[in-house]
Amino acid sequence: MMSKILKFSLFSAAMTLAAGGLASAEEQYCSGQGTPKAQEQVLQELAAQGYQKIKELEMEHGCYEAKGFDKDGQRVELYLEPATGAIVKAKKS
C-alpha cells in the first residue's frame, strides 16, 4: 500500500515539474542569440512594415516586445528576435 502512495506522489511531482517546464518553454519565443539591434532601428523597421504608434519596446522573455497598432489600426503585441528584428509572434487584441 505504501508503495502505491509513494509511486503516486513521485508521479504527481514529476508531472508538476514537467508542466512548469512546458510553461517556461511556451513563453520563450526568441533564441536570445547574437547582439540585439538598436531599439531605434527596430522601431524604424516596424514603421516600414506599416506598424504605427509603437508605445513601448522592451526586452521580455529574450525577445523585444512591442505594443502598438498594425496598418489596419488594430492593436497588436509583437515579439521580435532581438538580433534580426524578425517578428516571431504577433497577438492582436
pLDDT in tens, 25-72: 445 678 878 899 999 999 999 999 999 999 889 988 889 999 999 999
Q: List alpha helices for the chain, DSSP H.
A: 2-27, 39-48
pLDDT tier, 8 (very low <50, low <70, confident <90, very high otherwise): very low
C-alpha cell at 86: 524578425
CB 88 within 8 A of CB 79: yes
Number of domains in the chain: 1
**Res 12: pLDDT:** 47
What pLDDT was estimated at residue 90?
Answer: 93
Average pLDDT over residues 70-77: 95
Separation of alpha carbons 72 and 60, rounded Å: 25
Q: Which domain holds residue 45?
A: 2-92
Instruction: Say whether pLDDT at 24 is over 60.
Output: no
